[in-house]
Amino acid sequence: MYVVNNSFVIIDLIAGNIDETITSQNGFIIFISKLKFKYIITLLYFSGPMRKVYMDYSATTPVDPRVLETMKPYFLKKFGNSMSLHSWGTEAKEALEDSREKVAGLMNAKPKDLIFTGSATESDNMVLKGMVYANKNKGKHIIVSAIEHHCIIETAKWLERQGVEVTYLPVDKYGVVDLNRLEKEMRKDTILVSIMHANNEIGTVEPVEEIGKLCRERDVYFHTDAVQSYGKIPIDVKKMNIDLLTCNAHKVYGPKGVGALYIREGIEIEPLLHGGGHEFGLRSSTVNIAGIVGFATIAEIQKKEMNSDAIKLTKFRDNLIKETLKIEDSHLNGHPTKRLPNNANFWFAFIEGESLIIHLDMNGVAASTGSACSSESLEPSHVLLAIGLKPEEAHGSLRLTLGKYNTKEDVDYVLEILPEVVEKLRKISPFKRGW
Amino acid sequence: MKESFGLYSKEVMKHFKKPRNMGRIKNPDGVGKVGNVVCGDVMYLYIKVKKDKKGRSIIFDVKFETFGCVAAIATSSMITNLAKGKTIEEALKISKLDVANALGGLPKIKLHCSVLASDALVEAIYDYLTKNKLPISEDLEKRHEQIKKETEFVEEKFKDYIKMEKEIWNVKEK
């Protein structure tokens, strides 16, 4: 029934007799030819398993092994509740306050101005809702940029339905907010301006220092969502005139389920979660000590490694951009230089992003897209539309985000695979150039 | 390698990895160009028709080109498989559900992709019948009108691409 054969596979490949190919994890490629009365199965052994390259670090990151080590005791022996009075509780409380100092330290904030939350989404929700509630006397107007993360945009839309007035600040073709426009949009009853530090999709870094200065002059609170920049590029809440700042652990090699919110001393804000009065009464919930300790460890690590990471990743990024733009009809999204060290974002004419992602995945490469087809709502990315891309252009978008575990070989591999995949999809597409 | 990718069936991935009947037919007897209002995917379907010994019109060759996601490419590939060798009458009976079922099902959010495929086939057949001045049933006329309306909407969205593609195609034809 089975004929195992090596020598005919090339001939079969040329003749198109191969009906199925299966790539196994251990590096075998199995060709199956279905003939009239028998199957011919051919095994071909390649040098090793398929290369796996993770280039979706802006989605999430693996936990740094050093982080995991510091977390372990807090699951097993030091499991206490930080609110308990006994030694287990004290131990937890000490770990919590020690962590607060470390996480706050990386943004030059006072430890007592920082609270831990369950996620960046929670922090962002709390800022918008909590500031609107606590500052009703001042007014009911807030300003957010058009390229904020969904957790800001959707919260703003919900607030609009509650009667709050929201201005969505447009951005230029690179995704940078216009300071003059911001100044014009600020009103007497404006409570809050929320503009992200760095964009999660296109990597553009916003001029937060100038925005902060402008807000300070006008007596308007300034919040920045620094999820993508915390631990990657320097943040100084004092120098940057930041009143509120959101960050989390899992985007920088820490555990998932831990966020933080910096609230400058003296700012009135309402909590989302009422209860036992944890986190200075601003966020009730038994404190996730293990996660927070992990967050603190990564803050300490990134304090030392942030700069060397950034230098390495910028080099990789620039190489990725330079080489990818050699592909015909490919374009860079975001700013050429004012961007995160780890972000490269493109759009390729005539092809669709989800197909691109799945083809890359079949080749072992993890990436993401802003294509309508890949979203639950079937709408293209609001960020790509905001920088002026047409829906069909956003359709062919690709985001590659690097991290500290990427190597030069990873970049080379992606640069080898990507043009092949783009070409393959362009062959299927009805739209094309240069037939 | 994983054989299914989260939301897609094995059969969908098979057709996506190795699309059947992909490409363009020179001098086709009928062309169906449709766009999807929901997400903006576009599909072109080409057919060649000839009479068999009994005098029935048979779709003996069919090819597709698709600008779209995994589901759009897989449904395009599947509809060409289903339509090849069928008579015009049989081919018109292929529904979006037939396409989805042949692929072992589609995720709910991707069901609209199978509509694109069946619409493209209907349009290609309509084009063939019109070109050859053959009778068109009332039902087919209705479907054509509906599809045309939706396609016009998408064509407006993609007018730059279509214009560019036409220019290139014209140069090549000359």
B32 touching chain A per CB within 8 A: no
Q: Which residue has the higher pLDDT, B170 or A72?
A: A72
The pLDDT confidence band at residue B38, using thresholds 50, 70 and 90, is: confident
User: Is it the case that residue A401 has pLDDT exceeding 90?
Assistant: yes
Q: What is the mean pLDDT of residues A156-180?
A: 97
Smallest Cβ distance to B16: which of A353, A358, A378? A358
Residues of chain A with pLDDT > 70, as a percent, come to 89
Compute the count of residue pairs across chains A and B with CB atoms less than 8 Å apart.
88
Side by side, the strands of the sheet bearing B30-35 are B30-35, B42-51, B57-67
User: Is it the case that residue A338 has pLDDT exceeding 70?
Assistant: yes
Q: What is the mean pLDDT of residues A378-402?
A: 93
Q: Which residues pair with A222 in a beta bridge?
A: A193
Determine contact, residues A113/A264, Cβ cutoff 8 Å. yes
Contact state of A361 with B16 under an 8 Å Cβ cutoff: no
In whole angstroms, give the CA distance from residue A33 to residue A4.
11
Return the SS3 of B169: helix
Contacts of B161 in chain A (CB under 8 A): 349-350, 392, 431
- The pLDDT value given to residue B170: 61
Smallest Cβ distance to B5: which of A22, A358, A428? A358
- The pLDDT value given to residue A104: 98
- The pLDDT value given to residue B6: 66
In whole angstroms, give the CA distance from residue B33 to residue A404.
46
The pLDDT confidence band at residue B154, using thresholds 50, 70 and 90, is: confident
Q: What is the mean pLDDT of residues A263-278?
A: 97
B13 closest CA partner among A363, A50, A358: A358
Residues of chain B with pLDDT > 90, as a percent, come to 68
The pair of three-digit structure tokens given for residue A235, joined into one six-digit string? 């943040």
User: For every residue of chain A, which 3-state class applies, written as one string?
Assistant: CEEECCCCHHHHHHHCCCCEEEECCCCEEEEEEECCCCEEEEEEECCCCCCCEECECCCCCCCCHHHHHHHCHHHHCCCCCCCCCCHHHHHHHHHHHHHHHHHHHCCCCCHHHEEEECCHHHHHHHHHHHHHHHCCCCCCEEEEECCCCHHHHHHHHHHHHCCCEEEEECECCCCCECHHHHHHHCCCCEEEEECCCECCCCCEECCHHHHHHHHHHHCCEEEEECCCCCCCCCCCCCCCCCCEEEEECHHHCCCCCCEEEEECCCCCCCCCCCCCCCHHHCCCCCCCHHHHHHHHHHHHHHHHHHHHHHHHHHHHHHHHHHHHCCCCCEEECCCCCCECCCEEEEEECCCCHHHHHHHHHHCCEECECCCHHHCCCCCCCHHHHHCCCCHHHHHCEEEEECCCCCCHHHHHHHHHHHHHHHHHHHHHCCCCCCC
User: Is it the case that residue A2 has pLDDT exceeding 60?
Assistant: no
User: Is it the case that residue A3 has pLDDT exceeding 70?
Assistant: no
Report strand pairing: A28-34 vs A190-194.
Answer: unpaired
B173 touching chain A per CB within 8 A: no
In whole angstroms, give the CA distance from residue B67 to residue A354.
11
Total residues found in chain A within this entry: 435
Which residue in A has a C-alpha nearest to residue B111's C-alpha?
A373
B39 is catalytic: yes
Contact state of A391 with B157 under an 8 Å Cβ cutoff: yes
Angle between helices B159-173 and B138-157 (to 10 degrees): 100
Determine contact, residues A55/A400, Cβ cutoff 8 Å. yes
A215 is catalytic: no
Determine contact, residues A92/A81, Cβ cutoff 8 Å. yes
Taking residue A261's Cβ as centre, other Cβ atoms within 10 Å add up to: 26
Residue to mutate among B39, B123, B157, B173, with most A CBs inside 10 A, is B39
The catalytically annotated residue of B34, B102, B113, B117 is B113
Residues of chain A with pLDDT > 90, as a percent, come to 84
Which residue in B has a C-alpha nearest to residue A362's C-alpha?
B1
- The pLDDT value given to residue A5: 45
pTM: 0.87
Smallest Cβ distance to B70: which of A354, A390, A432? A354
Q: Which residue has the higher pLDDT, A28 or B82?
A: B82
Smallest Cβ distance to A431: which of B40, B67, B172? B67
Which residue in B has a C-alpha nearest to residue A51's C-alpha?
B1
B109 touching chain A per CB within 8 A: yes
DSSP state of B68: S
The catalytically annotated residue of A151, A215, A247, A373 is A373
Cα-based distances in Å from A224 to A151, A198, A414 = 13, 9, 33
Angle among Cα B99, B81, B34 to the nearest 5 degrees reads 65
The pLDDT confidence band at residue A270, using thresholds 50, 70 and 90, is: very high
Smallest Cβ distance to A430: which of B16, B67, B71? B67
Per-residue pLDDT of A10-61, as tens digits, reads 555 555 566 666 665 555 667 676 666 666 666 665 556 789 999 999 999 9
Taking residue A196's Cβ as centre, other Cβ atoms within 10 Å add up to: 27
Contact state of B39 with A432 under an 8 Å Cβ cutoff: no
The pair of three-digit structure tokens given for residue B80, joined into one six-digit string? 């060409």
Contact state of A390 with B160 under an 8 Å Cβ cutoff: yes
A244 closest CA partner among A229, A266, A273: A266
Q: What is the mean pLDDT of residues B114-122?
A: 93
